[in-house]
Amino acid sequence: MRAQAADVLTFGETMLAVQVSGPLTAGGQATTTVAGAESNVAVGLARLGHRAAWAGRVGADEPGRAVLRALRGEGIDTGHATTDDTAPTGAMLRERRVADLARVHYWRTGSAAAHLTPAHVAPALSAGAAVLHLTGITCALGDGPLAAVRSAAEHARAHGWTVCLDVNHRARLWDTAAAVRALRPLLPLVDVLVASDDELAVVAGGDGDGEESRVAALLSAGVAEVVVKRGALGAEVSTRSGGHHRAPAREVPVRDTVGAGDAFCAGYLSGLLDGLDAEGRLRRAIDTGAFAVATAGDWEGLPHRDELALLDAAPGSAVR
C-alpha cells in the first residue's frame, strides 16, 4: 500500500513508442521509448518534486514491462497499475516528416488499455489523491475507459479532490462528434479544464460561437478554471470568480513539439499544488512546455525543479 496519498493520480494508455528520424519509407533511423499523455504529465510532476501515481493498464509483454520500468525509474507510483494477460500493450510510431513537423501512427485497437474498466482504477482511487488528472485520449479508447474516467471523476468530486481534464483531442482516435458526446457530460465534474484554442469547440458552444462565449459556457457549466493554450502566443486562464490572466510564451528553439501540452499540464498542476496564483501557475506551465519543445522526446527533456531557472540563462551560456 502507498505510504502517502498521491498529490496527483492519473491513468490512461502508455505505449511502446518508436521514433523515426525521417520518413519511414526512406528507412529513417529508429529509436524506442515509451510515451503516453497521462504518464508524460506524471513524469513532469515527479521531476518537479510531487508524488505522482499512474494507474493505467498494460499487456503482459515486454513493452508493458518497459512501460512500468520507465515510470518507476522516474519515481512514479505504479503500485495500482494493472496487467492484461490477453491483450497487448499499445504502440505508436512517430516519424519526423518535414522540419519540426511530426506524424504519429497508432496501434491501439484492442490494446490492454482499451480494456480498462472502472474496477481496474478503483484501488488507486481508494488510496487517495489531491488531484485527479484525466484526458480526452482515455475517453477515446472505448466504452470501458470512458466509464473509468467518469467513475474516477465522480469519486474525486465526492471526496473533494481537484479534477483536471485536458481535452487533448486526437482526430486519429475519434471524430469530433464522438468527442462532444463523451466529454461534455463530464464538465460538471471538472474543476480545471485545459484545451488548446482549437479544442474549445469540442467541449462548449455551437457552430459560429466565438472563443469568449465558449469559455463563458464552460464556466457556467461548473468548471472553475479554463486554461487555453496558444502555442507560440502563450496561454491564458479564466476563472469562475471573474479573473483573467495571460502569459507570453518563452522564446526557445523549437526542436520537438510532441508532448508540449502534457508538459504544460504538469507545470500548471505543479503550480496549483504549490499554491501559486493564476499568473504563477501559467508561468510554470509555459516554462515546462518550453523545456519540452526545446528538447527531443515526449518527456525526456522535462525539467527537475532545480532546473526551472535554466531558461533565464543567456542563450549559448554554460552553467558552471
Residues marked as catalytic: 262
* CB atoms near residue 169 (< 10 Å): 23
Residue 231, C-alpha cell as written in the block: 502555442
Residue 87, C-alpha cell as written in the block: 491483450
Which among 139, 191, 145, 211 has a CA at the least distance from the CA of 168?
139
- C-alpha 23/C-alpha 218 separation (Å) is 40
